[in-house]
Chains A and B, each alone.
Chain A
């Protein structure tokens, strides 16, 4: 479904701030895989997601989605394959537009947009059903501008927008990190439910080790722009936080462990 081969990205090339964000990232996802990605700050987790989504072109390497070479495809053309939820709840919706308008735009992901109606009556009733599923009471506030909603409500809507067209690939970039613990839990449960029901292929970056172990069928740990550890389905079942820390210490050669351990737990 997704294939990355020796993907490399250097930011600020030739300047004093030159940083190898992605060194040599390679991994393959099979249809239905749900990978959780962990790693310290600057490990390259978000950069990997952004490289896949096409926010920038990689310096080297190859990216394939669903059998299509997308390495040189601009972001807006990759959109038809990818649903995304961002860390910042403000990033996922157009805040001056209503809930139903945002959903209508998401329904047209990757399709040519012409002079047809931006939203139809049938779509509205469909959206009402979707929103009822979220169980946040939003089905009665469909013409409310999303800027007036709370962070949790917006993330739930963004999640709905990212998944309603059943994308080949779902990218979640710490999408619960900016929420309070209770709301984060709810959004995470919703994420799990949608991914399971629609059998989506998903890549989720998280700072929370417990979530990383609990969710998904695979776990990847990144460090300094590389994939350090890729835990497969069988091994992941018995994985503990302590195991992860030990593996991380060993694989990274004991560098900055204390520092990163705090960030990871």
Chain B
């Protein structure tokens, strides 16, 4: 793999990792499989692209795209906690509704950003090569996101959200309105996902109504690859692990593309990759049993205490 390809994969991984962090918040911290992702990601792209085309500063457009995602997250949370619609279905409802909303915002299915200022072009205008500018934008956004989340999950409210995903009965018994915490978690998560979409639209040079398809799988794969390979002993460690997972995922994609796979095969590849990652605990267990059988019956105490 050429160095420029590798660097492109790393940059893309960084931009995608903001989405992956959003997925991490719902899937890992809140224990909530949120499909809003597939609608809030293109929502962020649509808002950012349309605002830039309307002449807004790209940074303001990017910021507003995040706010739009937060609203989407709020809607899903409201459907789930107040109207008691199951979590998976709440996400599907938001995602489906957002498809129409995104088309309304864009006015057509694809919105190119030809010769427009973007957060990336603003950085490269300072005399930096475009590929380096992407890397800088990625690193800066990711570090800001991680710093804020690390601080937030160390606050009283952050503790309450973590406990809501961990043991809702317990934290309710300690006086926390768990419904509000679910909504807040979804708001933060979808804000980040839309932010990722907003930046990605500027990186790609267009917003497309179909760009959300498969994003939840990409996000989950990044989260799981990251946590399995780089650990999850603390929130901070998990956040960095998810970013590294996202980068690794992009490198894998770049690798298989260089081996002759066509981009349209990627969704299948993503699904297979995620299926393998998700079944890792079971595979590990079976492997353990198998090894145990061969080596005679060693005591299982170590596993129980672990």
Contacts and interface: CB of A to CB of B under 8 A. Distances in A.
Interface of A: 53, 74-77, 79-80, 82, 84, 86, 90-97, 101, 104-106, 108-111, 113-119, 161
Given A113-B159, A117-B154, A76 B170 contact: no
Contact of B171 (A94, A95, A111): A94
A86 B167 CA distance: 13
A138 B14 CA distance: 40
A97 B171 CA distance: 12
B125 to A, nearest CB: 37
A78 to B, nearest CB: 8
Interface in B80-135: none
Interface residues of B, number: 22
Contact of A114 (B155, B166, B172, B176): B155
A111 to B, nearest CB: 7
Contacts of A161: 174
A108 B175 CA distance: 8
A96 B166 contact: yes
14 contacts: A79-B175, A80-B175, A84-B173, A92-B170, A95-B166, A105-B160, A105-B174, A108-B156, A110-B175, A111-B175, A113-B176, A115-B156, A116-B155, A161-B174
B286 interface: no
Given A84-B173, A96-B162, A114-B157, 11 more contacts: A79-B173, A93-B167, A93-B170, A94-B166, A94-B170, A101-B159, A108-B174, A108-B175, A115-B156, A116-B156, A117-B154
Contacts of A82: 173
Interface string B131-162: 00000000000000000000010111111101
Contacts of A97: 159, 162-163, 166
B271 interface: no
B175 A118 contact: no
A117 B159 CA distance: 9
B281 to A, nearest CB: 16
A84 B152 CA distance: 28
Contacts of B157: 113-115
Contacts of A117: 154-156
A84 B172 CA distance: 11
B258 interface: no
A34 B158 CA distance: 36
Nearest to B232: A96
Interface in B177-226: 177-178
B175 A109 contact: yes
Main DSSP-derived SS at the A contact region: loop
B156 A106 contact: no
A138 B157 CA distance: 26
A116 B169 CA distance: 23
B127 to A, nearest CB: 39
A76 B158 CA distance: 17
Contacts of B166: 94-97
A209 B242 CA distance: 53
B170 A118 contact: no
Top 7 A-B residue pairs of the complex, sorted by shortest distance between their CB atoms: A79-B175, A113-B156, A94-B166, A118-B159, A110-B175, A94-B163, A94-B167
B162 A114 contact: no
A76 B178 contact: yes
A105 B156 CA distance: 8
Given A94-B163, A94-B166, A96-B166, A76 B156 contact: no
A101 B175 CA distance: 16
B173 A118 contact: no
Most chain B CB within 10 A, of A92, A93, A95, A105, is at A105
Contacts of A92: 170
Contacts of B167: 90-91, 93-95
Contact of B175 (A77, A86, A91, A95): A77
Q: Which one of B160, B167, B174 has the greatest number of beta carbons of chain A within 10 Å?
A: B174
Contact of A76 (B154, B159, B175): B175
A79 B171 CA distance: 10
B68 to A, nearest CB: 24
Contact of B158 (A74, A91, A118): A118
